[in-house]
């Protein structure tokens, strides 16, 4: 008879559909933005901002789009680039500031500076459409952060440290202007740049050279991301417009999506503050430490020789499992760990897959089940130790854990 633990592991946890709280003032402000971008020289465009039930605000197609179509063409004067910032009133402070600011920091300060001008800013219509706050981790309380998957905690720390370090750096510059830089205001601007900028490479004499490759793109930044979307974004030097070309078909009234990159949910959460159900890019990393622990626990023989082989063949780093099971690297790791001394002499063929020993296959399956079950138990424990989510932040945390659980459950099923 199958025991309680087995039943617990098979338990189905259902991911709740996340519906982002909608800010209704956004709808009115979008209308002004559409008119403003036309006034600023945007050619007639075939997109209109709308609130969609699944994603919140996004862009709706006003006509059909086919692969190869340019969905939006934004004139250069509507981009907020390094030059826009450096040629503005605060440009003088930024240029003379040492150590140099990053472009991300400079753009964030520019947004704050323009926001302070109120309706006198030429960017006023744009600033009105930037959400008032974000659902990124900086807005999470300590208690909410604790609910995140353990394996995400380190990246969260790095992310928050960077935000705080950028704040301290910019605070000094604001101080030079005799002003106090409020953290909440800075955080808003920092995330606006982080989640809404497009790739645009420039030379930055007065800014940190690294990552000098972004610009803010009003209106265009209302496009949401989908893992199914294929799109290309680039500056067209002939017509001097920043353009996005789609590789998909969209019918009139569909939401038009672009791709922000092949991001897993951890990356989407950290950088953009949202996650996607059934994200095909999501993986559960199996670290070197987990493999060492397993080998130690199972008293794997000839451990140092095996580790050397795995290291030499670059098999120990970035192993993962996903909804398609353990990846090929991890499969080879388990196989090498499962060899006896004689079989190990054929490690090359085992890695290449040209030699397969039945005992090795069986032992490697056993090891993989131990490791995956251990990770599954850890995840289950974390889920079961938490109270049910009561707000959007907690739902995100919960769904991230449930996604890990699903990956581990599927990988286990595929191994048996
Ligand atoms: C470049 S903006 C896109 C426009 C944004 N929805 C808005 O209303 O301003 C990026 C942000 O949109 C949201 N977003 C993008 N794609 C999404 C999706 N598929 N589902 C939910 N939110 C999404 C996230 O909050 C992300 O930080």
Check whether 309 has a pLDDT greater than 60.
yes
Whole-number Å distance between alpha carbons of 73 and 380? 48
Q: How far is the CA of 221 from the centre of ligand 1 (A)?
A: 9
Give the confidence band of 28 by pLDDT, cuts at 50, 70, 90. Answer: low
Collect all residues with Cβ–Cβ distance below 8 Å to 309 and sequence separation of at least 6.
Answer: 336, 344, 347
CB 202 within 8 A of CB 81: yes
Degrees to nearest 5, angle at CA 22 with 18 and 26: 145
Higher pLDDT, 129 or 26: 129
pLDDT the model gives residue 13: 57
Ligand 1 atom with the smallest distance to the CA of 57 is 8
CB 219 within 8 A of CB 37: yes
What pTM was computed for the model? 0.89
Within 13 Å of residue 367, how many CA atoms lie on the same side as its CB? 28
Check whether 12 has a pLDDT greater than 70.
no
What are the domain boundaries of the chain? 4-16+282-415, 25-272
Degrees to nearest 5, angle at CA 341 with 340 and 345: 115
Beta bridge pairs of residue 199: 214
Check whether 214 has a pLDDT greater than 50.
yes
Instruction: Give me the mean pLDDT over the 207-233 stretch.
Output: 95
Ligand 1 atom with the smallest distance to the CA of 49 is 8
CB 339 within 8 A of CB 347: yes
Per-residue tokens: 376: 């599954």
Q: How far is the CA of 365 from the centre of ligand 1 (A)?
A: 41
Q: How far is the CA of 401 from the centre of ligand 1 (A)?
A: 21
CB 232 within 8 A of CB 71: no
Nearest CA to ligand 1 atom 27: 272
Q: Specify the DSSP class assigned to residue 268.
A: I
pLDDT the model gives residue 34: 79
**Dihedral over Cα of 89, 90, 91, 92: its sign:** positive
Check whether 88 has a pLDDT greater than 90.
yes
108: closest CA among 207, 235, 252? 207
pLDDT digits (tens, 9 = 90+) for 314-324: 999 989 999 99
Ligand 1 atom with the smallest distance to the CA of 130 is 9
pLDDT the model gives residue 149: 95
pLDDT the model gives residue 1: 45
The CATH label, of 3.40.1130, 2.60.120, 1.20.1540, 3.90.1420, for the domain at 4-16+282-415 is: 3.90.1420
In CATH terms, the superfamily for domain 25-272 is set domain protein methyltransferase, domain 1 (3.90.1410.10)
Within 13 Å of residue 318, how many CA atoms lie on the same side as its CB? 2
Give the confidence band of 395 by pLDDT, cuts at 50, 70, 90. Answer: very high
pLDDT the model gives residue 41: 77
């Amino acid at each position: 008879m199958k025991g309680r633990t087995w039943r617990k592991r098979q338990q189905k946890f259902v991911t709740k559909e996340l519906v982002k709280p909608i800010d209704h003032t956004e709808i009115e402000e979008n209308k002004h933005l559409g008119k403003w971008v036309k006034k600023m020289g945007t050619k007639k465009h075939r997109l209109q901002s709308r609130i969609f039930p699944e994603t919140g605000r996004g862009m709706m197609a006003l006509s059909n789009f086919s692969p190869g179509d340019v969905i939006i063409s934004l004139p250069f004067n509507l981009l907020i680039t390094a030059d826009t910032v450096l040629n503005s009133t605060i440009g003088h402070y930024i240029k003379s500031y040492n150590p140099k600011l990053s472009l991300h920091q400079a753009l964030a300060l520019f947004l704050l500076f323009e926001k302070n001008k109120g309706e006198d800013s030429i960017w006023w219509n744009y600033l009105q459409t930037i959400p008032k706050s974000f659902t990124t981790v900086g807005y999470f309380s300590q208690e909410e952060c604790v609910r995140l998957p353990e394996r995400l905690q380190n990246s969260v720390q790095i992310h928050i440290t960077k935000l705080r370090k950028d704040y301290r750096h910019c605070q000094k510059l604001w101080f030079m202007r005799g002003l106090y830089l409020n953290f909440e205001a800075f955080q808003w601007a920092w995330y606006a740049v982080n989640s809404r900028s497009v790739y645009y490479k420039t030379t930055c004499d007065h800014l940190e050279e690294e990552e000098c490759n972004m610009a803010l793109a009003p209106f265009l930044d209302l496009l949401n991301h989908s893992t199914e979307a294929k799109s290309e974004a680039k500056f067209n030097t002939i017509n001097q417009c920043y353009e996005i070309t789609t590789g998909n078909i969209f019918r009139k009234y569909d939401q038009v999506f672009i791709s922000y990159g092949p991001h897993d949910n951890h990356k989407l959460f950290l950088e953009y503050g949202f996650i996607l159900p059934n994200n095909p890019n999501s993986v559960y990393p199996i670290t070197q430490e987990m493999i060492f622990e397993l080998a130690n626990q199972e008293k794997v023989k000839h451990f140092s020789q095996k580790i050397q082989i795995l290291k030499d063949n670059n098999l120990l780093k970035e192993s993962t499992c996903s909804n398609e099971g353990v990846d090929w690297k991890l499969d080879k790791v388990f196989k090498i760990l499962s060899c006896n001394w004689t079989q190990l002499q054929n490690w090359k063929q085992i890695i290449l897959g040209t030699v397969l020993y039945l005992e090795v296959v069986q032992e490697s399956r056993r090891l993989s089940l131990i490791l995956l079950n251990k990770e599954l138990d850890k995840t289950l424990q974390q889920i079961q130790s938490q109270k049910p989510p009561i707000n959007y932040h907690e739902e995100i945390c919960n769904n991230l854990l449930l996604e890990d659980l699903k990956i581990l459950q599927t990988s286990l099923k595929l191994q048996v």
